[in-house]
Structures are given as C-alpha cells and as structure tokens.
Amino acid sequence: MIDQKELTIRLNHVILIDGFRQLSMSKLATAANVSRAKLYLCFKNKDEIVAAVVDRHLKFIAEHPVPKHFTPATFLPIWLDSLLLMGATTDKFKADLQQVYPDLYQRFEQAYQTYFEQLKSYVAQGQSAGFLVADFSAEFVIFQAQTLVSAVLTQVRQQKLTLTAAEHYMSAIFDLQLTGLVTPAARDQLQLTNVTGFMATILREFRATYAQIASH
C-alpha cells in the first residue's frame, strides 16, 4: 500500500510539470493515481502537499551536502547529486511557489543557491588540486552543466524530444562532463562502477517526472 512518502514523490512529479495552482485535490489524486480518500488520508489540503514536496527537496540537500574540502573520492557522487538537483525543479513550479507561498519559496531558493555556491567552491578546489581541468572558472563549469540539463528538459517539456532520446542525452551529458572536467592524469582515480546505480536512479527520477507530459 502506498504510504505518505511514496505519495509525496508521485505528487512531486505531478506539480513539477503542471504546477499546483490550477490543480484541485481531485485532479492531484487522479494524476498521482490514488483515490481522493487516500490523498485526504495523507494530506488535509494542498498546503500540506506543497510543504511536503518542498521539504523533500530541502531534505535531499541537507542529507547530501557538498563537502567543505575536495577529495577525488567524493567527486563522482557529488557531481551526480548536483546534476540531479539541476533537473529537480521547473520554472512552472517555482513561479507557483513564489506567488502562493513566498516564504516557502524563499527557503527553497536559498537552499538551492547555497548548495550551488558551495559546489562552486568545491569545484574550484578540485581545479587547484589538479584533479579537474582549470581552463574555465568553476562558475562557468556549473553554468555549462546547468545549461545542458535545462536544454534537454525544456525540449522534453515542449515535446520536441522523446523521453528515450532525452535519457540518452542525459547519460551523454554525464559522460561529456567527465571527459571535459577531469584531467587525464586523474581519470584512473575515478571509480565509475560505484556510481552506475545512482546514475540509473537519476534517470528513473527523470522518467517518472517527465512521463507526466506523455499522459497529457
């Protein structure tokens, strides 16, 4: 039986694509593939749903902090975490959040901004250590990754790119990032087998979210 945690994940997928201002509790229940009774059993109203979805994002950031000091062993999982976060929100969701729950929006935005500021420092340390290529600034490295991920997801939302093609592109972005970011001398230190499962998790999360578009 679906519990509140699993239902929050489903609802997160729904409102990232559709927002929540125009969705009634009945429509949310239908989109999440649960009965209205089940939805109301877990959440009294949309306020609680939105709070739970935001809390899920904040909890992920809190449980996956960027280390204060760069080490080769932490690079792959941290970079995958960051790629997941780059694709974990949408302008539609943030616009609704800002208009309806401005305080919650501020907490949400601050958490993301703080995370990526810490990531910038982390990447810069990796460059100084000679592990990451230092040809470009850490700020640009992150901007480039965000731009690539955003471009793929925008194409999916506009139905110009299929989910299958987008999954291939997301995997290619990760491979491209590794090829472009890690110095040749440091590549032998990478433990790629350790992140195969997490990369699959990222792609599952991506498909679960953007499959909402196919059902419209």
**DSSP-derived secondary structure for 145-207:** HHHHHHHHHHHHHTTSS-HHHHHHHHHHHHHHHHHHHB-GGGGGG--GGGGHHHHHHHHHHHH
Report DSSP state, residue 216: -
User: Burial level of 18, CB count in 10 A (0-12/13-18/19+)?
Assistant: buried
User: Burial level of 123, CB count in 10 A (0-12/13-18/19+)?
Assistant: buried
User: What is the CATH T-level fold of the domain 4-214, as seen in this structure?
Assistant: Tetracycline Repressor; domain 2 (1.10.357)
More reliable by pLDDT, 92 or 207? 92
pLDDT tens figures, 151-190 = 988 888 888 888 888 888 888 888 888 888 999 888 877 7
Return the pLDDT at 140: 96
Closest CA to 206 of 168, 175, 178, 158: 168
Return the pLDDT at 215: 52
Is the model's pLDDT at 135 over the cut of 80? Answer: yes
What is the spatial distance between Cα 196 and Cα 141, in angstroms, rounded to a whole number? 22
pLDDT tens figures, 11-32 = 998 898 888 998 899 999 998 8
Helix (H), strand (E), coil (C) string for 25-38: HHHHHHHCCCCHHH
Tokens of 134: 């230092």
The residue ranges of every structural domain in the chain are: 4-214
End-to-end CA distance of the chain: 26
Least confident of 15-29, 101-115, 131-145: 15-29
Whether 53 contacts 88, CB under 8 Å: no
Share of the chain above pLDDT 90, in %: 54
Closest CA to 109 of 91, 123, 121: 91
Helix, strand, coil tally for the chain in percent (to 5): 75, 0, 20
Return the pLDDT at 122: 98
